Every structure is written in C-alpha cells, then in structure tokens.
C-alpha cells in the first residue's frame, strides 16, 4: 500500500537515537535511505496537491455561456482580482512562487538531509570507533583470559598430579605407619615377654646357682665315691673275669661229663630232640613244651652246621607271627645276626609267588633228598606256612 507524503513524513524519525547502539553502520545507512526517499515523495506530492486545490474553484465558477445581463459581476473564479487574464497571470505567479518555495524547500531539505546524514555518520563513526576499541580491549582481555586459563589449566594439572603423588605418599606413609604400629605392638609384647622371661631366667639362674653349688658339692662327693667305686669295679671286673673263666671251665667240664637222655642227641652244651613224625609249627612247639623245653634257637655257625647234618626238613624256633617281617625267636629275642636264609630267591618271601597268597610266618631248615634245589649250607632257612605245612622239628635243652 502506497503511503502519502504527510503520513510518510510524520512516520519517519529524523532524530538520531543516541540511547541505542546497533554497532552496524550498514543498518544506519539503510534508515537514512528510507528517510530520504520519504522526503522526496513528500516534496513531489505537495505541489501537486496545492495546484489541484487552487485549480478546483476556477473550474466550478467558470461560466460556460455568456450572461446577457446588464453587466458582468465578479465571480468566485477571480481569486486574484481582475478579469480571466488576470486570473491566469495570478495562477502563473502563484505557480512560480510555489516552484520557488519548492526549490527552497528542496534546498533546505537537502541541506538538512546532508547535515542529518553527516551527524548520523559522525555518530555511527564514533560508535563504530567505540565498538572497535571495545572489541580490541575484549580481544586483549580474551587473549589474557585464555592465557590465564591455560596457565590455570597447567597449574591445575600440576596440582592434580602433586595431589595424586601426595595421596600415594600419604597411603604409603599410612601403610608404613600401620606396619610400624603393628611392629611396635609386637616388639612391645615381645619386650614384655622378654622382661618376664628375664625375670624368670634371673630367678631360675639364682635357683640354678644354688643348685649348682649343691651339685658341685655333691659332685665332689660323687667324685670321691666314684674313685672308690672305680677301684671296687676294677676289683670286681678282675673277680668277674676270674669267675667267668672258672664258670666256663666248670661248664666245659660239666658238658663233658653230662650225657643226654635217651632219644636226645648231644652237641656242645645242649641236648637236641629230633622228631620222628611231622606236624605243623604250633603242634611241634607244643610237643617241645610238653617236654619242658622249646624249639631250637640257633646261636652260631657250628650249631647251624650240626642241624644241617641231620638232613631233615625241620621247624626251628623262629617266626614273624606277631609283626610281619620282624622275625623273633621263641624266647622273645629279635633275630639279628647271624642269619642263614636261603638265597636265591631271597628268603623270607612271605609266599610272594603262591597263587593263594597265604602268609608264610614260620622258619624251617629246608632239605630235600635227592636235592631238587641248589641249596648250599649253611644258608638253608626258609619261611613256610605255619598251619598248612607239616615238618619234623627240633627241641633244645641246655645242659
């Protein structure tokens, strides 16, 4: 919609707004262009309106036909006075005046517009300079703040690292402190225990000192007694040697003059009964006990050779019925040396090669005739089943 010159001129604000800072020169120039266009529109339209307003009464009052009246009367068209020619001249003069006024108005408006533009430009330039300076200050401040921020960031990183290091150090120190506290507690406890032990040891030392004094006295007494007893022991050893020799001599004489009962065979200082029937080991031993003796106990190589010369498979008084592998004689004496186990294979083997796996706990002198095994005397001992094997047996009675 097109705006009239008056309305445009009234709506345009020619004064500068110093309270508002747009910061943009381009926007101010746009407002000036709009204001200038509005002024030109107003200047162009105003003379036309005035011309139409002056021309309208002449068209209304101008007569179309001559009036045959007694004489002409002045009509409303003669606003400037005089006849029609004067009216035209007056109109021309008015138009000329209007043109002059128009030119003067245009000139004044141009001057005002230039002054307004210059003032507006100066204000905008001043604001632009202020904004530029403010921008430069802000740029410097931004640079300084950025630098300070970077420094603070570096400081923050360093402080964080130092804090972490201190935290680690604090943790280590706390751990060491706890360990030292524990060690201190343990050392204190040990110290108290040692103090108690020291007191006890001191008490015991005093007691031992007293005991040592007493024992020293007793030792001296015992040394005296020992000297006396040693002298007596030596005398007794001499007497024992003499008595032992005399006993052996008497025993040899007794063995020589003593004979064995019927069905008993003499060897050395013992009498041996060799059975004529065969029984298991327990029954064989019981027969010897019924005779007041026990199965034979072999003490030396001569006795072993004597039994081997009997050429019989016989039970002897040796078994491991109490503890497997620990052979003992019938008088409870453990088997040490000499031993005469048959080898190879190594004996005793506890029936290792039998399928029925029955223990072999009783010892025998092994003999076969004719010999089926290469058994070389004196190693003729063998372990066999006590209750399932029947052998001859030998009873022994000392003289």
For the stretch 166-192, pLDDT in tens is: 999 899 999 999 999 999 999 999 999
Q: Which residues of 167-192 are buried (b: 16+ CB within 10 A; e: fewer)?
A: eeeeeeeeeeeeeeeeeeeeeeeeee
| Number of Cβ atoms within 10 Å of the Cβ of 283 | 14
Average pLDDT, stretch 96-111? 91
Cα–Cα distance measured from residue 228 to residue 248, given in angstroms and rounded to the nearest whole number: 30
Angle at 45 between CA 43 and CA 50, to 5 degrees: 105
| 286 within 8 A of 295, measured Cβ to Cβ | no
Band of residue 21 on the pLDDT scale cut at 50, 70, 90 = very low
Residues of the chain with pLDDT > 90: what percent?
A: 46
Residue 290 placed within a domain: yes
Cα–Cα distance measured from residue 362 to residue 78, given in angstroms and rounded to the nearest whole number: 184
H helical segments located in the chain: 5-11, 25-61, 84-257, 281-290, 301-308
What confidence score (pLDDT) does residue 269 get?
87
Query: Which CATH number do you get for residue 324?
Result: 3.10.100.10
Residue 176 placed within a domain: no
- Structural domain of residue 310, as residue ranges? 263-398
Angle at 290 between CA 289 and CA 291, to 5 degrees: 85
Cα–Cα distance measured from residue 270 to residue 264, given in angstroms and rounded to the nearest whole number: 10
Q: Tokens at residue 238, please?
A: 């001499």
pLDDT higher than 50, residue 8:
no
Average pLDDT, stretch 123-145? 92
Residue 309 placed within a domain: yes
Mutual orientation of helices 25-61 and 84-257 as an angle, nearest 10°? 150
Residue 72 placed within a domain: no
pTM for the structure as a whole? 0.42
**Count of residues for the chain?**
399
State how many domains the chain has. 1
pLDDT higher than 70, residue 29:
no
What confidence score (pLDDT) does residue 34 get?
64
| pLDDT per residue as tens digits for the range 229-246 | 999 999 999 999 999 999
Residue 281 placed within a domain: yes
Residue 56 placed within a domain: no
What confidence score (pLDDT) does residue 63 get?
43
The DSSP-derived string for 60-90 is HH--SS---SSS----TT-SSSSSHHHHHHH
pLDDT higher than 60, residue 6:
no
């Amino acid at each position: 919609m097109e705006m009239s010159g008056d309305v445009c001129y009234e709506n345009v604000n020619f004064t500068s707004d110093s309270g508002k800072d747009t910061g943009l020169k381009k926007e101010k120039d746009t407002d000036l262009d709009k204001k200038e266009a509005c002024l030109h529109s107003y200047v162009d339209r105003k003379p036309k309106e005035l011309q139409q307003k002056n021309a309208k009464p002449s068209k209304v009052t101008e007569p179309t036909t001559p009036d045959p009246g007694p004489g002409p009367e002045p009509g409303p068209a003669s606003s400037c006075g005089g006849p029609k020619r004067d009216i035209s001249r007056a109109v021309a003069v008015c138009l000329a005046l209007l043109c002059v006024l128009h030119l003067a108005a245009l000139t004044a408006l141009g001057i005002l517009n230039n002054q307004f533009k210059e003032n507006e430009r100066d204000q905008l330039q001043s604001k632009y300079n202020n904004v530029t300076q403010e921008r430069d200050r802000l740029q410097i401040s931004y640079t300084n703040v950025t630098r300070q921020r970077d420094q603070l960031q570096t400081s923050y990183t360093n402080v964080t690292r130092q804090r972490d290091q201190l935290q680690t150090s604090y943790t280590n120190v706390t751990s060491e402190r706890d360990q030292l506290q524990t060690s201190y507690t343990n050392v204190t406890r040990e110290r108290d225990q040692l103090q108690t032990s020291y007191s006890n040891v001191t008490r015991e030392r005093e007691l031992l000192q007293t005991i040592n004094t007493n024992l020293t006295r007793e030792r001296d007494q015992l040394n005296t007694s020992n000297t006396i007893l040693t002298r007596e022991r030596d005398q007794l050893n001499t007497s024992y040697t003499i008595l032992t020799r005399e006993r052996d001599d008497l025993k040899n004489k007794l063995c020589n003059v003593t004979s064995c009962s019927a069905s008993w065979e003499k060897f050395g200082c013992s009498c041996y009964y060799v059975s004529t029937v065969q029984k298991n080991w327990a029954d064989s031993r019981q027969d010897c006990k019924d005779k007041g003796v026990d199965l034979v106990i072999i003490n030396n190589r001569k006795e072993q050779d004597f039994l081997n010369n009997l050429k019989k498979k016989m039970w002897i008084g040796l078994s491991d019925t109490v503890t497997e592998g620990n052979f003992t004689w019938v008088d409870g004496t453990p088997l040490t040396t000499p031993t005469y186990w048959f080898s190879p294979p190594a004996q005793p083997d506890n029936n290792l090669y039998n399928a029925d796996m029955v223990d072999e706990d009783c010892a025998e002198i092994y003999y076969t005739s004719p010999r089926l095994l290469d058994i070389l005397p004196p190693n003729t001992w063998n372990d066999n089943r006590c209750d399932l094997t029947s052998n001859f047996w030998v009873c022994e009675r000392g003289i």
